[in-house]
Chain A
């Protein structure tokens, strides 16, 4: 996946107003099968997937024993006895090892990342693009976080109504050898709808405006879901899972810091790793930052002490030796 095709701003704009196509085949996919597949996956993630109906998907995180985040994932229940776990490319080996060490022998798993491709079709015109490819009505009406089998341009797929942009859209899983056929068909049929290819740069600005987490930046093994604002994917009263004891203790004690969204007041762009200053003290670090092409402001995320996390709190961002004013704002920065 290149950083950009036409240009980050133009690609970002295309996804917000028309449609964009991302080749995110680098993402990891693990298939887990057998009668206990879904209950066993449930013991590895913080959200409650034990009762996930067939054809549904759920966002979750996967924690270590200390409650630190190993990865954020989407779990799809493809069939009664078949689950798909989508993980970040950078965490694939770690997650595969983690799953392999926890799943029982009666629950076969398969890392299909290399044999599966993933294309993300995102934007308000995504539906029209699928329509142009002759998709059946029920596919066009697939609800958010649902997944189904389909065939498009002669290619067999799993189609999910999910994405990483803050827009409506679909994620299309197919066999690697079919990916080029599917990519070309989508771009050809989607061109009248304004569909264009989108790279990693715009993927990052789109997800940041929507406050979607980037693993390695906003969440890591050193962060827990509560301070990251992901408490909503931690279901402490829905069965046992790895990290539960630690997360219970963290929740009971209360978090000391929080991941907040901020926008720059002064002239400057915050970047990953820049220091956050409050009352002359360095109190935290920027985890993500860039111009927000749709919101028209320079935005970012960073961890600050709980006492500095309220909306409207003034922050300073240390940019190349100068402290530039910023303010804590509500997130997501952009909502469709």
Chain B
């Protein structure tokens, strides 16, 4: 496997989502590893703004040509924005998973939940324990 370095300013889940603190909000997306595993993303099913999500629980689904995967929330809170561009251009997730391919923004109910996530170094270590 090609070694990829992961952005240092993000927090990571075991299910390969990332979370970035931006002021009062937390932006969420999936990692380069997840994108590599999925292949061409063709559809992203996400909650509507205003819905609540729970940390480590499913908040949506992401589909590639071949498979469906569940999306898990890194933190609990209210969804305040979803990336509307993904509706017509799901391939943005492949092209820039940390930029244009972000998924949702959450207003966290407990910001300290971020501390329970992995930092980049630990996430890279974790990836090393996964097969293929």
Contact = CB atoms under 8 A, between A and B. Distances in A.
A271 B65 contact: no
A7 B41 CA distance: 11
B13 interface: no
B65 A293 contact: yes
A271 B64 CA distance: 12
A55 interface: no
Contact of A3 (B63, B66, B68): B66
B61 interface: yes
Contact of A8 (B61, B63, B66): B66
B43 interface: yes
A298 B42 CA distance: 10
Contacts of A8: 39-40, 64-66
Contact of B42 (A4, A204, A291, A320): A291
Interface string B51-71: 000000000010111101000
A201 B43 contact: no
Contacts of A207: none
Contacts of A290: 65-66
A9 interface: yes
A205 B65 CA distance: 8
Nearest to A264: B43
Contact-size category for B: 10 to 19
Most chain A CB inside 10 Å of its own CB: which residue of B40, B63, B65? B65
Report the interface size class on chain A: 10 to 19
A231 interface: no
Interface in A273-312: 290-291, 293, 298
Given A269-B63, A291-B65, A7 B40 contact: yes
Contacts of A320: 61
A265 to B, nearest CB: 14
A7 B35 CA distance: 11
A268 interface: yes
B42 A269 contact: yes
A201 B66 contact: yes
Contacts of A291: 42-43, 65
A267 interface: yes
Contact of B43 (A4, A7, A267, A293): A267
B58 to A, nearest CB: 10
Interface of B: 39-40, 42-43, 61, 63-66, 68
